[in-house]
Structure 1
Amino acid sequence: MHIKSERAATACGLAAILLWSTAAGLIRSVSEHFGPLGGAALIYSLGSILLVTLLGRPRLRSTPRLYLVLGNALFVAYEVCLSLSLGFALDSTQAIQLGVVNYMWPCLTVLLAIVMNGQRARWIIVPGTALALAGLVWVVSTNGVSLPGIVANVESNPLSYSLALGCAITFALYCNVTRRYASGKNLVTVFFILTAAVLWLKYGLSTETLPPFRLRSSLELLAAGIAMAGGYALWNIGVLKGNLTLMATASYAGPVLSSAFAAVWLGATLTAQFWQGALLVTTGSLLCWYATRPTANKE
């Protein structure tokens, strides 16, 4: 797929956000059928096949070695953390909470863009970021906002929450490293293949066994593979040629879209406090977008 204009590339990035909004619910659903490791390995194996079919075989000869190493490491780390954090969630409601924790990455992407890539921003990015992070804290809190409540919630499943936080950090780094060092190369197919290999290795070392394939579970697996592979194919186009800051700030709407889809798909009941937190995240995103848009920097 050859995209030349920045506007078209940015549109691809925004379409990726819509696809990703279905991913958390689908990954959790697939993990319930095939297990956390087996389900994730199947998703990325199918995604790899779809990407090779859509984008062709990857070409590595002219790829900068630094990006080949850093990009691979960050992408694989993110995908493994994401799939396992959702797969090891105690229930569907916690899986949705973990999905929102993962959505700290747009905030971190903008902040790292300022440090790593010289992105200009006005002072209003500070309250915008604070508001978005406050929304995430509000989501993780189950009954009001209290430190003991947050600690108790995290301690109920420290592995999944740690993995979700790792997701946010590694993907923010990946976006900025790709922008700075990729030299226009799209290696998402290679990244998917390596992620699948790592997950199959972990599966082989585990005690998990794959159950028989049923029609419903197979269709959910196909949908998850399309959501993940299609999302990344479009996102990398946006990262390489589009408006990264606009895409990252627009991604703040992801928690609302992702949670709404997952709640319906998984049959989970979300509290008013959860949706209030999601609204805070979205409001914070609008402030960040205003702070980083080019016209806002002309004093």
Structure 2
Amino acid sequence: MDTLVVEVILNSEAKATVCGLFAIALWCAAPGLIRSLSQLFSPLGGAALMYTLGAFLLVIFLGRPHIRQWPRSYLIVGSALFVAYEICLSLSLGYAQDNAQAIELGVVNYLWPCLTVMLAIAMNGQKARWIIVPGSACALFGILWVVSGDGLAVSKIAERISSNPLSYSLSLSGALIFALYCNVTRRYAGGQNGVAFFFTLTAIALWIKYAFSDQQIGLFTVRNTIELIAAATSMAGGYALWNVGILRGNLTLLATVSYFAPVLSSAFAAAWLGAVVTTQFWQGAMFVTVGSLICWAATRRRTVPPEL
């Protein structure tokens, strides 16, 4: 956020850290709001509206992107990965069979922090201690525990996935894609922040897909419009504030808190959507959180916290 206003206001690490923490809170609210938008405006229509408004907000707060200054590899690969991830995330939630499944899919998506660390080892030569192995196993077990629903049985997991293979595959693919995006950004971005441009591309891609679908955008009411603004603000505002936090704030604190997002996000979504989730679900979400924290601790000496 390279404006004069930000330079004047955010003149301390504490204030920048607060911005980072607020970004995490906004992102935690996003999955529940995205699911709500899909019910109000259709999965494709709601996502397209959200990213369109989000792109507009980001241009206002971050300024017009100067893509000619970006490394070509970041422009091409970063754009493709970001757009693919955002589409996977929004549509996996939008196509969920019910609100409880949408919350479950949100936790599956949060496998990305663990995947980010593992890809950092393979792609960027990140050093890691042996605890990366139990950390990864803990996160994966958490996902299986969430998806299983009752106990831990391969047949139950297969049954739940086969009930909606599109959403589960989109959510899991999104986790892998965003892990790739984090590592590509770290390696090739050269300090550039392309989120406003990427939001614009995401909106364009969704509108094109919507044009060839049979979905219809619902009526705009006061409530629907407020929810649209809230969803766009949670996504766009989260990215804008996170940029401030990681540049000037307490990175260790922000990284630690960010890994509690699966639990915080699920809690907000359950309350917002009025969905009932089981004790086993919360246990699985905690396993994902703990596993991600262990993976981060395994590379703590060298790791800069990735974007959410």
Aligned partner of 1:219 among 187, 202, 226 = 226
Post-superposition offset of 1:209: 1.5
The answer to whether the 8 Å contact 1:106/1:248 transfers is: no
Which of 9, 17, 21 aligns to 2:28? It is 21
Contact map agreement 2:110 2:288 (CA 8 A) in 1? no
Q: Is the 8 A contact 1:43 1:221 kept in 2?
A: yes
Mapped partners of 2:248, 2:168: distance in 1:
33
Matching residue of 1:53: 60
Q: Matched residues in 1 for 2:73 and 2:302: separation? A: 34
Alignment of 1:68 with 2:100, yes or no, is no
State whether residues 131 and 284 of structure 1, in contact with CA within 8 Å, keep that contact through their aligned partners in structure 2. Answer: yes
Structure 1 residue 31 displacement after superposition: 0.7
The match for 2:118 is 111
128, 132, 140: which one pairs with 1:125?
132
How many corresponding residue pairs?
296
Residue 138 of structure 1 corresponds to 145
Aligned partners of 1:248 and 1:114: how far apart in 2?
18
In the alignment, which of 274, 279, 291 is matched to residue 284 of structure 1? 291
Q: Does the 8 A contact of 2:126 with 2:302 survive in 1?
A: no
Instruction: Report if aligned partners of 1:179, 1:239 keep a CA contact under 8 Å in 2.
Output: no
Q: Does 2:102 correspond to 1:95?
A: yes
- Residue 272 (structure 1) shift: 0.6
CA 249–125 in structure 1, closer or farther in 2 if over 3 Å, else same: farther
**Partner amino acid for 2:172?**
L
Conserved 8 A contact 1:26-1:224: yes
Contact 2:136 2:291 in 1 (8 A): yes
Question: What is the correspondence of 1:108-257 to structure 2 with a 5 Å cutoff?
Answer: 108-236=115-243, 250-257=257-264
Change beyond 3 A, Cα 1:240–1:120: farther
Q: How far has the Cα of 1:288 moved from its partner?
A: 2.4
Specify the SS of the correspondent of 1:48.
helix
Question: 1:87/1:270 Cα in 2 relative to 1: closer, same or farther (>3 Å)?
Answer: same
Aligned-residue offset at 1:116: 1.9
Q: Do the aligned residues in 2 keep the contact of 1:102 with 1:165 (CA within 8 Å)?
A: yes
Contact in 1 for aligned 2:131/2:294 (Cα 8 Å): yes
For 1:69 and 1:272, the matched residues in 2 are separated by 43
Find the residue that maps to 2:86 and give its secondary structure.
Answer: helix
Structure 1 residue 45 displacement after superposition = 0.4
Tell me which moved more, 203-212 or 146-155: 203-212
- In structure 2, what is the Cα distance between the partners aligned to 1:180 and 1:150? 36
Aligned-residue sequence identity (percent) comes to 64
- Give me the TM-score of the superposition, normalised by structure 2: 0.89
Aligned AA (2:97):
L
The answer for unaligned runs of 5 or more in structure 1 is none
